[in-house]
Amino acid sequence: MPDCLVLEPLPNFPDMFRKIVMFIALGLAINNLYAQDFGLSLAYAPMRPLNHIIDRYNDTRPWLDEQMPNIRYLPGFTFSFGVSEWDDDVSMELFAWKYQRQTVSSGYGGTGYRKLRVRMTTLSIVGGAWYPVRNDRYKLGLGARPVELSIFKVKGKTQDDAKWQVHFASPAFLFIPLSASSTVFVEYLRRMKDPRSAWKLRLYWQAPWWQGQDMIFVNQALNPGTYNDTWQNQEMGIGNIGLQLLITGGK
């Protein structure tokens, strides 16, 4: 039977809510030891090779009532903890975790569908920021996470098989992800009434060390009859540019 479509622009909220609660609880547990950030993240990630595959899927299925949209934005959330004092010019990050996910779908005939999901989890174990502009109420600074490791997956399912199938998973060695990147960022902090807490707005750029994500198996899953005819490079990086709205707090 033909494949199909329906747009799911945001992550599954019950699942996302459980993760947020878990990391807020972790943040509260370490509150007396370290400063921590948690909040929402929205990234722009072009993913041209993957979107070329989606376009080919749409072009070869004229019966679709709704075509599968491209994936360009990755919503998610993030958590980190480290050592920071408001009066200090620098802060140190000891651990950071970022979760991003997007799901799109196509449909036809009211019952047929195909869904595609992209998920990326990024871990960083060291980072820092410098605040050349600061006073008692706000700070403006620059920062970096020099070494990050990411797990990148692409999954899919259809009306005939409701279980998610992994079309691509980034490589790992002994459970250690091999997709490496670095992140640089600019952030603005605004102190709350509670002097231990602040709002933080961060603009970041995550740059991959290499283009290591080969989408050929995603192409094979979506376009089994035409994937061998694809001339475009199917290797993709994990780079993205994003905004994060965070609450930061500590001792």
pLDDT, averaged per 10 consecutive residues of the chain (251 residues), comes to 44 54 54 74 92 93 94 94 86 93 92 93 93 93 95 92 90 82 96 88 93 83 83 77 90 59
Residue 52 CB partners (closer than 8 Å, separation 6+): 230, 232, 234
Domains detected in the chain: 13-249 (2.40.160.20)
Strands (E) located in 89-160: 90-108, 112-124, 127-134, 138-158
Give the tens place of pLDDT for each residue, 184-228. 999 999 999 888 889 999 999 999 988 767 888 899 899 998 887
Handedness of CA 157, 161, 164, 167 (dihedral sign): negative
The residue written with tokens 């019966």 in the block is 63
The alpha carbon of 7 is separated from its chain's Cα centroid by a whole number of angstroms, namely 18
Continuous H helices in the chain: 13-29, 48-59, 216-222
